[in-house]
Chain A
Amino acid sequence: MTIRQDPEDSETRALLDFAGDLSGKTVLEIGCGDGRLTFRYAARAARVHAIDPSEKKIAKARRKLPAALQDRVEFWATGIENFFAPEKYDLALLSWSL
């Protein structure tokens, strides 16, 4: 058996409830890790910039990025303190990272 995290999708349901309608919205996700949560909501947003200080995790996130999300999700290996944002965002998401 492999580890299964939240197969019940409680986190995604809570996030979508709190985020509301993401269509047309730009999202900055801080502490995205390997993109576990990113992949669950990104299709609903216009654009997602996801950052994490771990290069290893970002490399994994890039490898796992589904083709359908490649035009709207970008991953960067950086912490928020060194992130030079290309734009202002509608929503910032701190995913287990504060």
Chain B
Amino acid sequence: MVHALEQIHFLLKEDGRLIDIHPPPEPPPIFVRLGEQRHPVGWVREADDYCEYAQADDALDEVVARGLYRWEKRGRFTFVTHAGSISELQTHLAETWNDAIIDDRVIQRAEELMATVEPDQEVLLHEVIQIARLRVASL
């Protein structure tokens, strides 16, 4: 990761900027929405326990400490994925997030809630995402 940030530094103009968007090393919650009501049913687990996201944070800290970049702005936003069912969310995650795991009890809880008569229902994955802007620092 540090090597990638070094290469990007080389590809940026002298006053260039880098924007990094990545999730924090925390499990994102899953909700079932029935009408206006959201019900938490569990989290998405990751096989490697989100260690890549922690490594990404460390890599950014390292290149800043080495003077390649300087922080300009940091923030967070919520990225919501809407699915028609828990199995649809599972299929989507299998294609886009290889090591994501939804535990059986979470699936069961979601399916039980969605077995109600409420027609306006969906599954929501709430990811709080980190965004940061860094500027190229002159060495």
Q: Which residues of A contact B (CB under 8 A)?
A: 1-8, 10-11, 13-15, 17-19, 28, 30, 80-81, 83, 85, 88-98
Closest Cβ neighbor of B89 among chain A residues: A3
Q: Which residues of B contact A (CB under 8 A)?
A: 1, 3-5, 7-8, 11-13, 15-23, 56, 59-60, 73, 75, 77-85, 88-89, 92, 122, 129, 131-133
Q: By the criterion CB–CB under 8 Å, are B88 and A3 in contact?
A: yes
Task: Report the Cα distance A40→B122, complex, angstroms.
Answer: 25
Q: By the criterion CB–CB under 8 Å, are B11 and A6 in contact?
A: no
Chain B residues near A95: list those with CB within 8 A: 21
Task: Report the Cα distance A18→B133, complex, angstroms.
Answer: 7
Q: By the criterion CB–CB under 8 Å, are A10 and B84 in contact?
A: no
Q: By the criterion CB–CB under 8 Å, are B81 and A98 in contact?
A: no
Q: Shortest CB–CB separation between residue B39 and chain A, in angstroms? A: 18
